[in-house]
Amino acid sequence: MLFDNLDITINKYDKVALIGNNGAGKSTLLKIAAGKLNPNGGQVKAGSTLYYVPQVFGQYNDHTIAEALGIDQQLTALNSILNGDVTEENMQLLNDDWAIEERCAAAFTHWKLDEIDLNQKMDKLSGGQKTKVFLAGIIIHQPDIVLLDEPTNHLDTDSRELLYQYIHQTQHTLLIVSHDRMLLNILNKVYEIDQRGLTVYGGNYDFYLEQKAIENDALDQNLKNREKALRKAKEVERESIERQQKLDARGKKKQEKAGVPTIMMKTLKNKAESSTARVKGVHQEKISTIARQVTGLRAAVPDIAKMKMNFNSSMLHKGKVLISATGININYDDEWLWRQPMDIKLFSGDRIAIKGSNGSGKTTLVKILLGQLKPQQGDVQTTYKGALYIDQDYSLIDDDLTVYQQAQRFNSGVLQEHDIKIRLNGFLFGRDDWDKPCSALSGGEKMRLMLCSLTAVDKAPDIVVLDEPTNNLDIKNIEILTAAINNYPGTLIVISHDEYFMKQIGVEQAIDLR
């Protein structure tokens, strides 16, 4: 059962964020609200017209853009009427919407989609274009309620800004599933879904974090109190049993001195043992109750608080030049990728972002800086010892290996088997996970295993490159990644449209390719 007996109310003009860990049921709940999925029980009522933007668009690959947006029949009817075929069927299909073509043109212009055509197939579009097509559908359909599932996943910085602007200004009622903290801070309510059900926080994401911090502090204090009570209960049990045993021993000596018959001695011995067992039973019941409470509280502690993230230093002194690129550029189809050749210096300890719209050459630049691609113009000099490239799919994780084998692959021979397993435990991979195939891991689990593997290296790489690292992660795992990166002592290059994440990890410089 994903969730049961769940009640959710969205009022007119509300702008609601729906958050929760991967697998909690956010997208399922959104599909139910949109009428795309029927619940096993209960009912959904919507008082106004709904419009739904899904997270995944593969199901539309065989459709034209007009078909995907559900306006193909209206447009065909309009064109037929304008060409003189004024039938009742065409008039009903048009539904008196004579301005639909103008709205389509205005919507596509707003979302910078002027180059595409309504009759074009969806499979020819990039992920960002598909998202913008469906966002353009808001202007085309003019709904009252808009449901968005991870709308910023494939959007570049400029497109995100357009979306943020829409959310700020719209009078639409919004329900949005997202891990984009910039977006979440624009919304005025946060609904969190977890195993307990649905919890409502009346504020934006920063307000939610403040409330969660208060809850977690109370949880931490409660856990400490219960752990203290458990230790005390065990101590009282031990003292009570010792006291009872001393009383029994003294009683036995008195009886022996008094010459009590053997049969009577056995009866008294049985009574003493029964009395000790009763004392023990009373204390065991209390200890078991407290132990269950402690187990429940420990399970509620956020994963990030349970993790141990220690990276070995790269041993480079801060400020040393690691990469010096002079006048670099690369040619594709007889055109230079960048308008002007670039000069770049990267120093030890830098935390730098590479920004730009899709297709501006961000990944190409990284490959040049890491020596994986030779520029056709200019020169690159490097002094760093090791660099690690981590993409959004965590491709360095080998699906054919087990979790333990993957961590062991990064071991330079210094660590023993038990050391690797201690590190795996520190990244929430317990005994039951060690033999699990990497192919069975979620995106968040692969991210944690990648970070764990980094701690198994004798010396951390001088440079770590993160390429859209937050795209496939929920908020919990983004927070884990943020904490880990803040523990990494080396140089960082980040390609990301997630401004909130980059601020959290201390990125202060940027190379802008726009």
**CATH code (residue 363):** 3.40.50.300
In a domain, 310, yes or no: no
Whose tokens are 């969730």? That residue is 3
Residues 346 and 450 in one domain: yes
pLDDT at 261: 60
In a domain, 313, yes or no: no
- Please choose, from the candidates 279, 200, 195, 201, the residue with its C-alpha nearest in 3D space to the C-alpha of residue 242: 279
pLDDT in tens, 271-280: 655 665 665 6
How many angstroms separate the Cα of 112 from the Cα of each of 107, 127, 129, 450?
9, 14, 9, 37
In a domain, 116, yes or no: yes
Residues 499 and 386 in one domain: yes
Q: How confident is the model at residue 67 (pLDDT cuts 50, 70, 90)?
A: very high
Q: Which helix (H) or strand (E) holds 406?
A: helix 403-409
Residues 445 and 501 in one domain: yes
C-alpha–C-alpha distance, residues 138 and 151, integer Å: 13
pLDDT at 168: 95
In a domain, 4, yes or no: no
Residue 457 structural domain: 321-512
Final residue belonging to a domain, choices 255, 272, 301 = 301
pLDDT at 426: 83
Final residue belonging to a domain, choices 180, 211, 242 = 211
Phi, psi of 198 (to 5 degrees): -120, 130
Residues 199 and 66 in one domain: yes
Give the CA-trace dihedral at 361, 367, 373, 376, to 10 degrees: 40
Residues 277 and 169 in one domain: no
Residues 494 and 443 in one domain: yes
Q: How confident is the model at residue 122 (pLDDT cuts 50, 70, 90)?
A: very high
- Please choose, from the candidates 59, 50, 2, 47, the residue with its C-alpha nearest in 3D space to the C-alpha of residue 25: 2
Whose tokens are 């989609």? That residue is 113
pLDDT in tens, 88-99: 998 999 888 899
Give the least confident one: 46-60, 66-80, 311-325, 404-418: 311-325
pLDDT at 218: 83
User: How confident is the model over 174-189, as a mean pLDDT?
Assistant: 94
CA dihedral for 198, 305, 474, 436, sign (positive or negative)? negative
- 144 against 386, higher pLDDT: 144
Final residue belonging to a domain, choices 211, 238, 261 = 211
- 295 against 436, higher pLDDT: 436
Residue 215 contacts residue 207 (beta carbons within 8 Å) = no
| In the predicted structure, residue 185 carries a pLDDT above the cut 90 | yes
| Other Cβ atoms within 10 Å of 486 Cβ, number | 11
User: How confident is the model over 211-218, as a mean pLDDT?
Assistant: 83
C-alpha–C-alpha distance, residues 319 and 296, integer Å: 48
Domains held by the chain: number: 3
CB within 8 A of 393, min separation 6: which ones? 443, 472
In a domain, 433, yes or no: yes
Question: Cα 471 vs. chain centroid, distance in angstroms?
Answer: 8
Residues 292 and 395 in one domain: no
How many angstroms separate the Cα of 231 from the Cα of each of 234, 276, 286, 293, 511?
5, 20, 12, 13, 56
pLDDT at 274: 62
C-alpha–C-alpha distance, residues 459 and 466, integer Å: 19
| In the predicted structure, residue 477 carries a pLDDT above the cut 60 | yes
Residues 367 and 431 in one domain: yes
pLDDT at 312: 60
pLDDT at 19: 93
Residues 382 and 467 in one domain: yes
C-alpha–C-alpha distance, residues 86 and 328, integer Å: 62
pLDDT at 140: 95
Residues 197 and 220 in one domain: no
Percent of the chain predicted with pLDDT > 90: 40
In a domain, 284, yes or no: yes
Residues 185 and 269 in one domain: no
In a domain, 2, yes or no: no
Q: How confident is the model at residue 133 (pLDDT cuts 50, 70, 90)?
A: very high
Determine the 3-state secondary structure of 467 from DSSP. strand
Give the least confident one: 149-163, 230-244, 470-484: 230-244
Residue 504 contacts residue 482 (beta carbons within 8 Å) = yes
C-alpha–C-alpha distance, residues 110 and 79, integer Å: 24
C-alpha–C-alpha distance, residues 113 and 141, integer Å: 17
| In the predicted structure, residue 70 carries a pLDDT above the cut 70 | yes
Question: pTM of this prediction?
Answer: 0.74
Mean pLDDT of the chain: 85
Question: Cα 476 vs. chain centroid, distance in angstroms?
Answer: 5
Q: What is the DSSP letter of 43?
A: -
DSSP 12-32: TT-EEEEE--TTSSHHHHHHH
Residues 486 and 419 in one domain: yes
